[in-house]
Structure 1
Amino acid sequence: MSEYWPVTDVLAYLTGVWRVERSVRDLASGDRGSFSGATVFEPLDDEAGLLHHESGTFVWQDVARPAERTLRFLADDDGAGRADVRFADGRPFHDLDLTSGHHVTDHPCAADLYRGEFTVHDADHWRTVWRVGGPAKDLLLTTDYTRDAEREAGHDSERHSGQG
């Protein structure tokens, strides 16, 4: 049995509401932080793909702050198991290929390099691990996603009633 769960249609797999738990470690200083919240993947209005909106609470050095981000997961012409991930403003972020259930990708950002590893465990669980290195950064961000069927059902009700 493989430790990875292959995904034939990445956009269909991601669609819905996911609980998010992220640990953040500064490998240079030893400082630790965390993020807890939710990510909603829903269809884009203007093109084939999904809007990813993450929101929750980020805790760093015992200070809790609201945090959010938005990404765009666009359909890839090379296959349904792949997506082109972009920042909210359209700038490229990284490629994503979950056809084997596992993918490694890079994102250069100024003098830093972000290396991401994506692992799909099953229909309701996946993980990302980002290692960020550069002159001023040495970080490890590990995020676990769990499908939130209860919130997903509520989100579907809101969407279909025109309130969400």
Structure 2
Amino acid sequence: MEEFWPVPDVLAFLRGTWRVERVVRDLASGETGTFAGTTAFLPDPAGGLRHEEAGTFTWRGETRPAERTLRFLPGPGGTADVRFADGRPFHHLDLTAGRHLADHPCSADLYRGEFTVRDADHWRTVWRVRGPAKDLELTTGYARRG
């Protein structure tokens, strides 16, 4: 049985820079891609943290730069309200038990995420994406840098 590391304050836990390794599996075709880079959780002038991810994504033999930005706003009891860079809601994040499940409907697709914390310096997300044209699994490992 996997043990989880409780996080009383998700924003305090995430603050800083993390090494990121992601595997993207297309479960319909069997194709696999990878992302490698860093994620920085930096103070956001509007409150909370700004999640800035940058690295390289390799898919079908082609490697290209990739980046994304999210906002993590303070939620009740040490949780966070995760939003896209433009302010649209993404999901709630509660790691007080060291594990959290989240759903995000996106058009005809459903993104179901599982967040698990192993210790003070390692956590993981697994997003399962299902829809009429998608059958994906995205597994991301995060390791704290310095």
TM-score, normalised to structure 2, is 0.98
Alignment partners' CA distance in 2, 1:112 and 1:132:
7
State the Cα deviation string for residues 126-163 of structure 1 (Å, max 9, x = none).
Answer: 000000000000000000000011xxxxxxxxxxxxxx
Q: Is 1:55–2:54 an aligned residue pair?
A: yes
Q: 1:117 aligned to 2:118?
A: no
Q: What residue is the counterpart of 1:162 in the other structure?
A: none
**How many residues are paired up?**
146
Q: Give RMSD over aligned pairs.
A: 1.0
Q: CA deviation at 1:87?
A: 0.1
Q: Distance in 2 between matches of 1:106 and 1:21?
A: 22
How far apart are the structure 2 equivalents of 1:148 and 1:60?
26
Give the letter for the 1:79 counterpart.
Answer: G
Q: Residues 133 and 2 from structure 1, CA distance in 2 versus in 1: closer, same or farther, beyond 3 angstroms?
A: closer
Which of the numbers 84, 90, 95 marks the counterpart of 1:93? 90
Runs of 4+ in 1 over 4 A off after TM superposition: none
Aligned-pair distance for 1:97? 0.3
Instruction: Tell me the residue number matched to 2:80.
Output: 83
Q: What is the CA-CA distance between 1:46 and the residue it aligns to?
A: 1.8
Q: Which residue of 2 aligns with 1:6?
A: 6
Gaps of 5+ in 1: 150-164
1:25 and 1:2 mapped to 2: Cα distance?
23
Who is 2:22 aligned against? 22
Q: Which amino acid aligns with 1:74?
A: L
Question: Which protein shows a greater Rg?
Answer: 1
More helix by share: 1
Sequence identity (%) = 70
- The aligned residue for residue 31 of structure 2 is 31
TM-superposed CA distance for 1:2, in Å, is: 6.6
Q: Partner of 2:5: helix, strand, or coil?
A: coil
Structure 2 partner of 1:146: 143
What are structure 2's unaligned runs of at least 5 residues?
Answer: none
Higher strand share: 2
Quote the Cα distance in structure 2 between the aligned partners of 1:89 and 1:75: 17
